[in-house]
Amino acid sequence: MMRSNLRWTLAGFTALAAPGALGDVVSTVLDPVGDTRLDAPTFQDIVSARMTRTASGDFELMMEMAGPVPVSPPLPPPATNQIWWFWGFDLDLTASPRGFPLPPGTAVVPEFIVCVSWDGAAFAGTAIDRRPLLSGGAAIVTPVPFSITGTRVEAVLPSTLIGDVPRSIGWHLRTMDWSGPVGSGGYHFADSADLGP
């Protein structure tokens, strides 16, 4: 993933004395309508997104699409395996973990990913902690709450999964088509938007 020049700052959270001591920190990003690749449908076209870090440390994630997400979306070519709507957290400018959900040895920026996926039969919400890959371990995959309402795809990342984060992080938004199994080279970006390093 490409790095941009902006960073999202968690002002004050490193000094948070007690849960609820400060209000929520909100960051938003806008993305042009119709800028998708692969002739992707409108339900893969990101138009805006919001990341809210609550005073309790949870991350509430929202992605607004150009068109409503169907109850049972088609798998548009090249998505013969899965569709993903995902938020990537770039927690360390010096790190690019290699491997899952990409093939072994493939480096990609975010140390943490939250995705809502569709495999042709069911939706799922998943958190992928890629930090263990940096020391030869395996990524940690955990279900997370999610919802889809019309054009909005939302998920919640509990603070217990991501732990402490730096005051300034980058975040990356993607819609992806998987033409092969997750963990293979069969991934294709349909749309992207970034706010981060």
pLDDT tens sequence across 9-58: 333 222 222 333 446 888 888 899 999 998 999 999 999 999 999 989 99
Q: Quote the pLDDT of residue 170.
A: 86
Q: Could you report the per-residue pLDDT of 152-162, keeping only the tens digit for each?
A: 999 999 999 99
- What's the distance, Cα to Cα, between the start and end of the chain in Å? 11
Domain-located, residue 162: yes
For 88, what's the count of Cα atoms within 13 Å in the CB-facing half-sphere?
26
Read off the tokens for 37.
């690749």
The residue behind tokens 């706010």 is 195
Provide the number of structural domains found in the chain: 1
Domain-located, residue 89: yes
Domain-located, residue 155: yes
Query: Which of the two residues, 38 and 4, has the higher pLDDT score?
Result: 38
Contact 127, 157 (CB under 8 A): yes
Mean pLDDT estimate for the chain: 87
Domain-located, residue 90: yes
Domain-located, residue 13: no
**CA separation for the pair 71, 73 (Å, rounded):** 6
Domain-located, residue 10: no
Domain of 97 in residue numbering reads as 23-195
Strands 25-30, 46-53: pairing is: antiparallel
Residue 197 binned pLDDT confidence (cut-offs 50, 70, 90): very low
Residue 195 binned pLDDT confidence (cut-offs 50, 70, 90): low
pLDDT over 50 (residue 131) = yes
Domain-located, residue 176: yes
Domain-located, residue 28: yes
The residue behind tokens 């975040």 is 171
CA 77 vs CA 1, 70, 87, 103, 155: distances in Å: 22, 16, 22, 21, 25
Strands 152-157, 146-149: pairing is: antiparallel
Q: What is the mean pLDDT of residues 63-83?
A: 96
pLDDT over 70 (residue 121) = yes
Strand partners, 140: 129
